[in-house]
Structure 1
Amino acid sequence: MRRQVTLFIKRIHIYGYGRLENYQLDFSPGVNVLYGENEAGKSTIFSFIHAMLFGFPQRSQSAPSYEPNGGVKYGGRLTVELPDNGEIIIERIKNTQGSECRVYQDGRPIGSEQDLQELLKGVDRGFYESIYSFNLDGIQEISRLNEEEIGRYLFFAGISGSERLWELENGLQKQMDQLFKPSGKKPEINQKLTQLKESSRQLQKAIERENEYNQFLERQEQLSKSIAENRALLEESKDKLVHLRDWKRLLPGIQELSAINSRLRELSEGHFPAGGIKRMDTIEAERLAKETLFKSQSSKLAALKAERQKITYNDQWSQMESAVHRMERVIDNWEVQEGEIKAKSIELEHIEARMYKLQDELHMNLEEARIVSLDTSVFRKEEIKQLELEMRTLQKRKSELDSQFEQEKIKLEQLERTLAVYESKLLPDDERARLEERYKAFQRSLGLGGEKEALETLERLKNRREKVKGAERKAVAKQKQALGLAGLLIITVSILLIIVSNMLLGLGIGLGGILLLFLFKQLMGSQAKSSELDEEILYFEEKVAQSSRSFEGRGDIGLTERLLMEDAQIRDQYEKGLVRKEQQEEIFEGLIQAFEKWEREKQLCERRLIALGNEWSIPEEISQSMLSEAFERLESMKEIILEKNRIQASINEAKNVIGTHKAKLENLAQIFDVSADQPNKREIYSLIKQKLEAALRVKSESIRLEERIHDLTEELEPLEEVCKRLMAEREKLLKEAHCTSITDFYQCGKEAEEREQLLAAKRQLMIQLGDFADTERYVSASAAELDDQISGEEDYCSSLEQLIETGRKELAAIQYDIKRLEEDGTVEALQFNHQKLLEDFEDMSRKWAKLAVAKGILQETIQKYKNERFPVILNKTNEYLFYLTNGKYEKMLFADNGAGLMLQDYNGGFIHARDLSRGTAELAYVSIRLALALTIEGRNNLPLMMDDTFVNFDDRRTERVLSLLRKIGQENHQILFMTCHQKIKENFTPQEVISLMR
């Protein structure tokens, strides 16, 4: 059972791919129509989705690579949703170092290329492009498909997504034939068998001379084994010698490491802080500096406080400084508000004029409150668009119904005229009855059941007689041949009588007599059969002649029979015409019902438009024809009313602001003892400002002193905190080092530094020594002891080398004797060649057996898949084909005679794929591809990608195929459909269409 794959593409983000840069699109479930003119980017997006899922196009492939220009980052992101994993993001980027793939979920990376393949459950590029991504290229091949080919195609496409296994299966037999054929000579295995036979014969001769040769071979093997053992001992001794020399070379380091370990054991493992001495020096230096600065700043603060006590000023006026400065801005704003009131009043008059004009255009005089309360939401606007689109669709359907009505009416009239012609040619009922009675009387008068039957029987007997005579002629020829054979037998018997005894004479004569008797019986039997047929033929000829004589003077009976037969044929055609007329009348009645349905839908649409117009108090004639324009004007009126209310509110607000500003100025004048009775607000403000500046000059000096005092106070507080903090850090550092004084602290620090240096030296020595770092094992030996061991090992190596040299000399003498016995190398060459031939033969046999097993398994699997899965796919294809052709073609089938793919129409007739129109052939192709994509086992829920697949369909078939796509999209199947045709785009809602700009 395959694992189910459900994948929904939600979003693409192109960093750089082809000519698209920093480009994003969102997709929805169901149908997504990517509409755009040529070179708008449809093919680029098509290729980008494949690249994100399965990798960038390779340079070796025929497909374009879409590498961007100008140094733009090559790649992008694809956001998809999987049922078991939720939303994931696939990112691919390609640069000079290669291609990089990352998979993200919830903003964090979860894997790379291998993890992506696991998420896709084995779906690769070839599988996806063969099943789910298609265009009309395959239509050129559909006419020559037969049942076997399409079954095999569906099998391989469903398993591997490509035809590579198909090519493998076709090549298996060819490879097997290249290896072996039972009666062949050129195949490799046949040639090897011939070579093996010859090699075996030559080797057998050579083995007879091998007694002495085998003894030399046995000695050669002993010497080779002894030399090999001594070489192994020599290598082992050399390794030991290298080890001893390395030990001696590294002995000073080993001794140094031992001394470091001893010193580390003497030093205690204290907990001195890291970098403690340096930290203590920093803390002490900073603490002394901060304490000195604190004492100096404290003296300055006392002097400033004494100077501040001598200054006094009027604080009430100085506190009003910000209010006085704000008043200057208030006066500016006062003047601006006065100008704004004048401008808004003029704008208000213009708006009221626009409002009056719009009401006059709609012939409406509604109150503003009523207009504002009208529902002009986006949903209402969309409802109007849908109704008007439905009205346009109904008008288009009316034109189609009119056209179809005229066509069907013409067909019906033609059928009626044809029936009238047939009816005029029919015999009257009384005339036909008279002729039938006359013909029946003629038939009853015949003794053999009728002259016609007698003539037919006579004809059959004559044909049979001809066949029997032909058989007799063949039998006579065989008899002549047999007589010749009998003569030859008699001659042979005569020769035997001369050579052997007379007993054979009776045997020969007896055989000849039996043979002649058999031939005579065969000849007589055939003649009897022929004569019997002659008698029967003569009997029937006499009967026919008697019948003809008894009806002399009635030669017009043939004319009667011909009239009756012609009338029967005309009646049969007339009855068939009546049936076709009834069918045409049913179609005509269906068109009338369609007209009635169209009228009901049109009236319903008009009522809904009028209801919307009544809701807004719009006249019916405007509602039926110009509701969208009226809706837009109502929206404009609402906007004008809202704008008018906003302007009036702005004027009122400006007046309120002016009153507030006047009250503030009067209050400020009262505080500064200035009269507010003057008409010029600027003069009042000037007097207030003069009094404020005098008060501020005194306050400025006081503030300067206070700020200095404040700054010094704020500066002293952190200095005091810093001093306390530094003292706390000093005590904390002493505590960490377990010391009570600075002297003890520095002593512990020196010991800690020494320990760190020793540990660093130890790590370096252990790296240099490697395996010799085990001091307990290697430090005990002295240099003199190591010299003794090295000397002994060198002597042992020399003795082994002498033994090896002696064995090699003896081996060379033995090999010379073997070579002498081999003469020109015949035994060795034959043995090597025979063994090589055997190995090659075994390899080829195993290869042939694997190919045979693979071919059998593959054929069995193909047949099983075809028997189980192909009917399911074909049933789904027939379902789609019946729907897309509106029942004109009922099913798709394959001719038993190998003629290929055929379609059966509603009348039961059959049409070959090569005789179909281009549009119908494309419908059949689309039906096959959709059925395959939606029934493939375990992988039937991947996004379908189609590129302008319906351009050759008429309007009706286009509507049906788009309706089928919507149905598939509603069944949790995502569809990405690329098109550049406006008429196809108009069949989808705006939510389903994604417009691409060139």
Structure 2
Amino acid sequence: MHLNRLTIYGFGHFHDRTFDLTAGLNYLLGANEAGKSTLTQFITAIFFGFPTKKHPALRYEPLDGSRFGGEIAFTQAGVDYLVSRTDGPHGGKVTLHDTTHDLALPAANLKRLLAPVDAQLFTSVYAINEPRLGTVFAASKQELIDRLRHVGAVGSDFWLQQAQHLEQAAETQYKPQGRNPLLNQQLRDHRELTAKLAKADAAYETYWQLLQQQQTLRNTQTATQQTLTHQRAVTEQVTQQAALWATYTEWQRLGSDEQAAVSGFTADDATRLEQLRGQVSASNQTLAQDQQHLQDLQQDAQLPPLFQAYLPVASQVDPLLMQLPEMTQTANEQQQLAASQQDLEARSAALEHQYAINGQMPRPFSLATTQQVTALQERLTAANQKRRRLQQQLNQLNERFQQQQPSRRQQRNPLADKQIIWLAIGLVVLVGSMFLPGTWFKLVGALLGVAIGYYGVFLVDSSTPASRELETLTADIRDSQAQLREGGQLVDDLNNQLDTIATAHGLGDLPVDQWSAAQGAIGEWEQLTRQLEDTGSRLAKAQQTVTTYLTQVTQALPTLTGEDLATIAPQLTQLQTLKQSLQHQEGDLATATARLKADQAAVDTARQQLNTFLSTRNLRSVAAFYQRYQAQRERTNRQQQRAALAEQLGDNLAALQQFANHAALTDQLAQAQAQQAATQQRLDQTTTQLATLAGQLAHLTASGTQATLRQKLANLETQMIATTQDWLVKRLTSQWIAATLAAASGDRLPQIVAQASNYYGKLTENRYTEIELTATTLRVRRAAGDWRDVSQLSRGTAEQLDLAVKLAFAVVLNQQVTMPLVIDDGFVNFDAQRRQAAYALLAEISQTLQVIFLTADPAVEQLAAGNLIRLHE
């Protein structure tokens, strides 16, 4: 099996994430809290089910509330499957689909596809992390063998459980050195019964006589006990009645002063009385409040000095009062504009300090100038770069020219001397041909002489390879120098154009690379200047409006001269409020007077209703009502107490009524107690006699009677035979199951140990060469030959041993179990060399098994093999 894709709906902090895996080695790289342990638990949960809500830390329910669950696409035996699991009962709702044949499969088939691996085997072998490394050392050899049997034979987990249960059941029946098992107890009881039977045979006759006497006394004891039980019941009943006599007397007393109940004094009547009293009190309180209000209105008729000054100029002040809210708002706006003006001035001054030249800010570029400057800068940059390249090229050519300069001897060309010789030979041949006989020979000789001279002068090359290379270098140097001069002229021209633009816009000595920032600052400065002009204009207008308003107010009301608007505004507001109040004062006085009359009428009505309530009950005061009401409550309480006492007495009430007084009840109790004491004495005597006979019988038959002992012995022997047969069946069945499973998987243990030894040597750089599995633990052999137990290893070395055993387990059983290895940061305690060895071993194992390695080690990015997935992407 290998996993192809993990799709997470919602699991931990993952939601709507997909991870594509390969059949070989997969690296999932992520820092702490990137989700490595979450992915390990996700694979386990989708295959084997979500933990219950009793273990919330292992469920990894989504933090963002998305749908809980996900799906895994995997391949097994050449068939592609897709399993999904979402939140639900019994480990979640599972769906299984055969994507190769497009078939929906029952969810129960998932367990068959994963068999024989269950959740426990997967987490202990195939899901490896640092905390789980080392758990194999706590296991015994038998537990490791059982784990092999679990994988080696399909369905062996059921037979292993059955064998274990049979073995435990057999041990509860018999152990060679045990005391508590059933068969051990039966053997011990058999020896004791045999000894008792031999002792009982000697006193058989005496035993039967004493046994007949004992039976007679037992019959007498039974009859006496029945009589005593009846007398105890009678005594207990009379005692209970005597104890209830005080309650009965109280019940009689409560019934002696019964009087008829009087109507009109119930709890509802008391509530009605309190309502009437509350109405009277509320009416009086309202009357007092309205009287005080009327007095306040009369006192408010006195006018303050400012209002008296207002009355003669009311026609002038009233329009100003209407303008007061607007002036208040204008004054607030004035303060805001002043603060804004200070801020704008500060920002403008900062820009002027940074860019102004002789107190004058540079002028901004137009769009055409901006494009021109950009083009000039680009051309200037390109020209400078070209000049630097040409200068480097010229320097290289000069160095080569200096290296190629020949010495004086080398400058002389031997072929140049030969040109003269060839020319001389040609002249000699030409002159000599003139002396030959015949015109034809003369002509041929003359042509030959000319040809020799031509060859010497024109065909013989006087230059050497070194001289030709020097000529080439000289030409290249001259060409480079010419290009440098042209580039310098271009740079000067471009700089002149930029200087012209700087002069035209007042940029002064500001570097060209700062022109862009300066243009932004110039634009901001111009905007600030416009804002300052607008703010100053608005501020002046607001100041003029407020000043004009204050002048008008002080002209109308001279008492306010010298005060600002913040001081005048509250006084004008109070003046306006007083004016409105005086307009309604006359109506308020009339209303208050009418309300006083209504309040007085309400008080009279409430008092009349209260008097009517008392007169209908022939009462003069409220206190008299509550006196009668309290007496009525006490009468009702006595009736309730008498009913409660009657319920407490129950059936004893009728019996107590039969006694004339307490003395008669006491006499009957004394008689019942005397009869009970006499019967108890007879019973004690009979019990004493039975105890004596029992002692004699116990002495004679300490081991029991013969028949009883023989029967017990026979029954015990039958039980022993049945127990022995049951023990043999369970013991032999358990041994047969163990032998059968051992035959199915016993040959794999040596393979796993040998493979683990090979892996352990690779992980430890051959420092440890062999692993031996003993009866109780593991031990390892060093390269020097000595053996060491696991307890003597360092933590990292011990974890490497556990890793080697688990990897060997998975590789050896790969034919029966095709599960991927999921390793969650299992190498944190390995040093650098052994961690690299572990990476190499995983790459080797991934040729046959899928390996999913989740780690925070960035070194895996440098590994050649494997599919790398970054969790943070």
| TM-score, normalisation: structure 2 | 0.45
